[in-house]
């Protein structure tokens, strides 16, 4: 008579075999975290956020501007406004300096880094939320320069293309970092009404308005439009001698008019087309 094994013996064998096979199997590797998509501004933002060279370039620019203050004050004809923005004599006017805000005296690198890490382009809602936080730090060297102006009785005007709805938050941020001359009369946002002049997103009307009551010793910015209204770059060479004397440029490789010029300022183009036109612009 043939003996049959109890049914539980087969179950034990199956369990043992499964355990052996599991022990021999190669363990699964955990998947690496997904990196964000490639972003055109990554290298620029990384340089601005981390490099000594960027901090040095900012300090160097502001230090050079500081060395020009006394000479500018001593010369009653010294004026940094382009001739087409200046009306009348400047000799009897009190002195002022005009500075841009973003990436000129305030550092929005944390916001730019968010966009890169999230794989986003510029988003007005995110920008407004960032400005409302009012926590952008001063660029290296900016406060020392502005304090030197204030100590000599030179008024500072902050001319920015932030929207009018962001003026109060901008004033709050500028005051937080300790800048002088911060108020509703000196912080001129986009949309600031200048009688008889419609500038759109340019700044020449606001500069001209400041020039009516002040001799403008210097202009400081990170875009050509912070210095002169020059469509297609016309006439820029005429002001070459003013660089480092009356005009002081802060480097900004992350964004600006220089970028949009590469694709004809047409932001309706898809990202791939814009990138192709950028590549075409650097062909040897």
Domains of the chain in start order, with CATH, are: 42-253 (3.40.50.1000)
pTM given for the model: 0.86
With 60 as the cut, is the pLDDT of residue 6 above it?
A: no
H/E segment holding residue 281: helix 271-281
pLDDT tens digit sequence for 225-235:
999 998 767 78
With 50 as the cut, is the pLDDT of residue 200 above it?
A: yes
Distance between CA atoms of 232 and 236, rounded to whole angstroms? Answer: 10
Output phi, psi for 29, to 5 deg.
-80, 140
pLDDT band at 201 (very low <50, low <70, confident <90, very high): confident
With 90 as the cut, is the pLDDT of residue 185 above it?
A: yes
Lowest mean pLDDT among 25-34, 41-50, 175-184, 218-227: 25-34
Taking all residues of the chain, what is their mean pLDDT, rounded to a whole number?
89
* pLDDT greater at residue 46 or residue 6: 46
Distance between CA atoms of 108 and 7, rounded to whole angstroms? Answer: 73
Which pair of tokens denotes residue 112?
């730019």
Which pair of tokens denotes residue 258?
């220089």
**Largest Cα–Cα distance of the chain, in whole Å?**
127
Pick from 96, 105, 113, 97: which is nearest to 45 by CA? 113
pLDDT band at 163 (very low <50, low <70, confident <90, very high): very high
What's the mean pLDDT in 72-77?
A: 96
What's the mean pLDDT in 85-95?
A: 91
Judge contact between 139 and 103, C-beta under 8 A: yes
Percent of the chain with pLDDT over 90: 74
pLDDT band at 36 (very low <50, low <70, confident <90, very high): low
| Predicted local distance difference test score (pLDDT) of residue 284 | 76
pLDDT band at 278 (very low <50, low <70, confident <90, very high): very high
Cα-only R_g, the chain: 29
pLDDT tens digit sequence for 93-141:
999 999 999 999 999 999 999 999 999 888 999 999 999 999 999 999 9
């Amino acid at each position: 008579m043939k003996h049959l094994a109890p049914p539980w013996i087969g179950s034990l064998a199956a369990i043992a075999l499964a355990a052996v096979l599991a022990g021999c199997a190669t363990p699964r590797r955990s998947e690496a975290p997904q990196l964000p998509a490639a972003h055109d501004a990554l290298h620029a933002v990384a340089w601005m956020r981390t490099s000594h060279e960027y901090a040095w370039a900012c300090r160097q620019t502001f230090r050079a501007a500081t060395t020009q203050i006394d000479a500018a004050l001593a010369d009653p004809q010294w004026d940094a406004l382009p001739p087409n923005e200046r009306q009348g004599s400047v000799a009897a006017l009190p002195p002022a300096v005009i500075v841009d805000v973003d990436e000129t005296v305030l550092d929005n690198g944390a916001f730019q880094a968010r966009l890169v890490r999230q794989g986003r382009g510029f988003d007005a809602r995110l920008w407004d939320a960032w400005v409302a936080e009012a926590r952008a730090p001063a660029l290296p060297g900016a406060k020392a320069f502005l304090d030197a102006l204030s100590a000599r009785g030179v008024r500072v005007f902050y001319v920015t293309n932030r929207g009018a709805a962001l003026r109060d938050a901008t004033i709050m941020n500028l005051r937080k970092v300790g800048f002088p001359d911060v108020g509703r009369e000196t912080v001129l946002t986009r949309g600031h009404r200048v009688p008889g002049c419609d500038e759109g997103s340019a700044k020449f009307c606001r500069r001209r308005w400041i020039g009516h009551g002040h001799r403008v010793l210097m202009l400081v910015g990170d875009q050509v439009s912070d210095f002169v209204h020059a469509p297609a770059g016309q006439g820029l060479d005429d002001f070459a001698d003013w660089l480092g004397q009356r005009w002081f440029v802060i480097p900004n490789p992350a964004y600006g008019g220089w970028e949009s010029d590469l694709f004809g300022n047409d932001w309706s183009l898809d990202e791939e087309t814009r990138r192709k036109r950028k590549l075409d612009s650097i062909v040897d």
